[in-house]
Amino acid sequence: MVLSASTSSLIAVLFGNLTQLGFYDQQPWVVIAAPIGLILVAVINGGSMFMSNYLLSKVSQSVLFQLREELFDKILSWPEAAYQRNATGLVASKFVNEANVALSSATRSVIVLVRDFLQIIGLIGVLVWHDIILTLVALIIAPVIIWLIRFISSKLRAILAGAQQNIATLLVRVKESYDARQVIKISNTFDLESRRFAAINNEVRKLALNMTKVSSAATPSAQFVGVCGVAIVLAVAMIESQRGMLTLGEFITFLTAMMLLLPPLRRMTEINAAFVGISVAAESIFATLDEPSEPDNGTVELIDVHQGITFEKVCLRYPGAERDAVHNFSLTVSAGETIALVGLSGSGKSSIVNMLPRFWNPTSGRILIDGIDAQTLTLKSLRRQIAIVSQDVTIFDGTIRDNIVYGCPDVEDEKIHQVLEDSALTGFIHSLPKGLDTLVGEAGGRLSGGQKQRISIARALLKDAPILILDEATSALDAESEHHIKLALARLMRGRTTFIVAHRLSTIEYATRIVVMQDGMIAEVGTHAELIRKNGVYAHLCKMQGLDQNESTAQAGLGNSHAV
């Protein structure tokens, strides 16, 4: 960049000197030297400009690579409250829009700032050297340009902040509509969604036009001021020339330097918009990087679970909530026991199991695992002891094998085939031409709901953790698969501490105890038969679901004895 800037000043000096030597002094060697010299300077200028652009781009792409990695790692380490505060579109915008804007603009701006600044300094040096009076006349325009830059900066900053927010909202709208495509089609709400999208799309358009309007005004304004300066300088130069104070060669040198000075001055005014964009994008990116990570102050390594789990007056209140989602929850669970959590939606069932792996931390109270406060355990060792099969199955874009061995990449094929058998996947896998290497598509789009849930169960079987959380693990299975899965789960739960979050009471026949939740508190605890005899909340839930109580009692008794 230094070389590129210095050659610009050299061009101005060459033009003036070669004009004097060639046209007025009539030196014959100048006929050959002049074009060779100019071509050589142009080659040096072009080569140095190319290398500065390429090398700085290489640096900026390395920074962008690191920045995206740090953003990605930070987002994965967020606590659950941060995910609730940040929409997916807003997060995606930081990778797709803001990081690119900041880095690409920074690259161009650094090139302009360094190379053009040096070029301006060099050319001003040429001007001062040849005629200080004309230079002072030319610099009259400097305060006007500075005021122009500051005025445009204040306008652009407000526009860019709104533009980035609108782009994030646009991404949220696209993702939401994409995920809800079946609901939109069945509801025939294409016009509604189009209007909603058009509204935010129009806001993006208007802000983009405003940004272009303001930033584009900078260039012609700067050019106008520059031309005014040149006009004044030209008038003063002609006066000096008429008085014999300025030769033609000196005037050509000065005028060339002045003309070469205008493009970098124009670019310096243009990067003002880029710097405003960088500033706004950087504030957003670093706010994300400064977001506190999931707290992990534990120092104790949990090797296994032998004694059980104890909840001591546990309360949980979500941020912004007016009341506790879980209140004064106390329960002692022996190792190997199966606990079913039942109750109406919003009664606190999922909140309780989400505190076990510390997705949420209790607002008050303690959770003890083998007598150790879970807050003192390292997150990695705690979560190594827990496997989860959720109703909302997570399937990654890849092969079936990739999804089953996720978290256990070095497992042997024999173990994989065993869990396939236990999760009723063997027949399905054999029916596929590529077997385990079949691609599942984004979010498992090529799989049925039951197939996705069986893959999730196979993943949990493979992990073989001492604590198991089942959230309606058989809800999406057909009758035949459900039969096989229940047998597999019975084998899996044997000797393990299991929590079943149940909405369908017919799925809790393996529970040794049933905990009935109501408004975040324990309403009843007991076996199926005991709770039916109480004729309380649980018995009412059974009646609501039309459950045959006698049949369920027999199932529960069989399940209890089997689990024990």
Q: Kindly tell me if the per-residue pLDDT of 139 is higher than 80.
A: no
Cα diameter, the chain: 120
> What does the buried/exposed string (b/e) look like for 376-415 if buried means 16 or more CB atoms within 10 Å of the residue's CB?
ebebeebbbbbbbbbbebebeeebbbbbbbbeeeeeeeee
Which tens digit of pLDDT belongs to each residue from 164-182? 677 777 777 787 777 777 7
Strand order across the beta sheet in which 308-316 lies: 326-334, 308-316, 364-369, 372-373
pLDDT at 146: 67
Q: How confident is the model at residue 377 (pLDDT cuts 50, 70, 90)?
A: very high
277 CA to centre of own chain: 19
Interval 274-299 mean pLDDT:
82
Interval 410-432 mean pLDDT:
86
204-218, 276-290, 435-449: segment of lowest average pLDDT: 204-218
Interval 267-277 mean pLDDT:
68
- Residue 360 DSSP class: S
At position 168, the amino acid (one-letter code) is: A
CA quadruple 207, 208, 213, 214: dihedral positive or negative? Answer: positive
Q: Kindly tell me if the per-residue pLDDT of 557 is higher than 50.
A: no
pLDDT at 558: 35
- HEC string of 59-114 equals HHHHHHHHHHHHHHHHHHCCCHHHHHHCCHHHHHHHHHHHHHHHHHHHHHHHHHHH
Question: Is the separation of the CB atoms in 455 and 441 below 8 Å?
Answer: no
10-14, 345-349, 420-424: segment of lowest average pLDDT: 10-14
Q: Kindly tell me if the per-residue pLDDT of 553 is higher than 50.
A: no
The residue ranking higher by pLDDT, 36 or 519, is 519
Q: How many residues does the chain have?
A: 564
pLDDT at 552: 44
The residue ranking higher by pLDDT, 119 or 287, is 287
Interval 191-197 mean pLDDT:
84
Question: Is the separation of the CB atoms in 254 and 279 below 8 Å?
Answer: no
Rounded-to-10 torsion of CA 147, 150, 151, 157: 170
pLDDT at 18: 66
Which tens digit of pLDDT belongs to each residue from 54-108? 887 788 778 878 888 888 888 888 888 888 887 777 787 777 777 776 666 666 6
Q: Return d(Cα 132, Cα 254) in angstroms, integer.
A: 11
In three-state secondary structure terms, 492 is helix
- Average pLDDT value over all residues in the chain: 79
111-125, 141-155, 307-321: segment of lowest average pLDDT: 141-155
pLDDT at 141: 66
Plot region of 244 (φ>0 → left; ψ -120 to 50 → alpha; else → beta):
left
- Check whether domain 2-289 has CATH 1.20.1560.10, yes or no: yes
Q: Return d(Cα 436, Cα 484) in angstroms, integer.
A: 20
Instruction: Give the highest mean pLDDT range of 119-123, 314-318, 410-414.
Output: 314-318
Q: Tokens 């229940």 label which residue?
A: 486
From residue 314, how far is each of 363, 374, 520 by CA, in Å?
8, 12, 10
HSE-CB for 238 with a 13 A CA cutoff: 5
Q: Kindly tell me if the per-residue pLDDT of 311 is higher than 60.
A: yes
pLDDT at 7: 76
pLDDT at 149: 67
pLDDT at 563: 38
Q: How confident is the model at residue 412 (pLDDT cuts 50, 70, 90)?
A: confident
Interval 144-161 mean pLDDT:
68
Interval 441-465 mean pLDDT:
84
> What does the buried/exposed string (b/e) look like for 242-259 if buried means 16 or more CB atoms within 10 Å of the residue's CB?
eeeebbebbbbbbbbbbe
pLDDT at 516: 93
Which tens digit of pLDDT belongs to each residue from 320-335? 888 999 999 999 999 9
Q: Kindly tell me if the per-residue pLDDT of 564 is higher than 50.
A: no
Burial class (CB in 10 A: 0-12, 13-18, 19+), 495: exposed
At position 58, the amino acid (one-letter code) is: K
Q: How confident is the model at residue 556 (pLDDT cuts 50, 70, 90)?
A: very low
CATH class of 391-464: alpha beta
**What kind and span of H or E run contains 501?**
strand 497-502
Which residues, in sequence order, are CB contacts of 433 under 8 Å at separation 6+? none
Q: How confident is the model at residue 468 (pLDDT cuts 50, 70, 90)?
A: very high
Closest C-alpha among 547, 334, 472 to residue 555: 547
Q: Give me the residue spans of the domains in the chain.
A: 2-289, 391-464
Plot region of 130 (φ>0 → left; ψ -120 to 50 → alpha; else → beta):
alpha
What residues does 498 pair with on adjacent strands? Answer: 338, 468
Closest C-alpha among 394, 422, 427, 428 to residue 483: 422
The token pair at 494 is: 């044997």
Q: Kindly tell me if the per-residue pLDDT of 366 is higher than 90.
A: yes
The neighbour count for residue 368, using CB atoms within 10 Å, is 17
pLDDT at 358: 93
Which residues, in sequence order, are CB contacts of 328 under 8 Å at separation 6+? 313, 314, 315, 365, 521
- Please report how the helices 479-493 and 413-422 are oriented relative to each other, as an axis angle in degrees rounded to 10: 120
Interval 505-528 mean pLDDT:
87
The token pair at 145 is: 């340009």
Q: Return d(Cα 156, Cα 230) in angstroms, integer.
A: 29
Q: How confident is the model at residue 513 (pLDDT cuts 50, 70, 90)?
A: very high
The token pair at 161 is: 């902040």
Q: Kindly tell me if the per-residue pLDDT of 448 is higher than 70.
A: yes
Q: Kindly tell me if the per-residue pLDDT of 467 is higher than 90.
A: yes
Q: How confident is the model at residue 554 (pLDDT cuts 50, 70, 90)?
A: very low
At residue 412, what are phi and psi to the nearest 5 degrees?
-80, 155
At residue 394, what are phi and psi to the nearest 5 degrees?
-100, 120
- Is pTM beyond 0.85? Reply is no
Which tens digit of pLDDT belongs to each residue from 7-51? 766 776 676 666 666 666 667 776 677 778 778 887 888 888 888
Closest C-alpha among 421, 419, 385, 379 to residue 403: 419
Q: Return d(Cα 253, Cα 13) in angstroms, integer.
A: 6
The neighbour count for residue 346, using CB atoms within 10 Å, is 12
Instruction: Give the highest mean pLDDT range of 269-273, 275-279, 500-504.
Output: 500-504
CA quadruple 158, 164, 170, 176: dihedral positive or negative? Answer: negative
